[in-house]
Amino acid sequence: MTTLPKMRGMYFEEFEVGQKVVSPGRTITEADIVAFAGISGDFNSIHTDGEFARDAGFGQRVAHGLLGLSIASGLLVRSGVMEGTVMAFREITQWKFSQPIFIGDTIHVVLEVSEMKSLPRLGGGSLLLALHVQNQDDVTVMKGQWSVLVQSKPAAS
């Protein structure tokens, strides 16, 4: 007999507009930046050259903005509310990179459910999420809105 693992995430019906979730944190390392540069092909000196970066405005290397965005996605999964129940990441409806993320910064995500739309034909619903990615000082380093599809609760058998 095969037993499927229990879904850890929340189903569409368990969310509500105004609900907030705070993710765990994650410290950004030099290895993260080097690995992301290799994966993305973005070896811009502001990310990879300490001597260049020292004189380029921020005084030190900064993480790629898209690295921060990618880590934010992973942190939301780690929060548990979407693990195994998200059907699709649909859209970034807006996004702003407000402050740099430096090596050694610890970021977390504050999510707030802005809108909900039931989509029964897809077996779930759409959530519009307002996100604030914050550093260890609770400074917002990036923010925006994402749209995701989330599964509905399975019918009772």
How would DSSP label each residue in 48-74? H-HHHHHTSSSSS-B--HHHHHHHHHH
- Specify the pLDDT at position 121: 94
pLDDT of residue 130: 98
> Which two three-digit tokens encode residue 106?
């610890």
pLDDT tens string 98-155: 999 999 999 999 999 999 999 999 999 999 999 999 999 999 999 999 999 999 998 8
CATH for 12-151, among 3.50.50.60, 3.40.50.620, 1.10.1040.10, 3.10.129.10? Answer: 3.10.129.10
Count of H helices and E strands in the chain?
4, 6
Q: ∠ at Cα 69 (68, 71), nearest 5°?
A: 65
Residue 7 has pLDDT above 80, yes or no: no
Judged against a pLDDT cut of 60, whether residue 25 lies above it is answered with yes
What is d(CA 17, CA 87) in angstroms, rounded to the nearest whole number?
19
Domain parsing of the chain, residue ranges? 12-151
pLDDT at site 157: 60
Cα(76)–Cα(95) distance, integer angstroms: 16
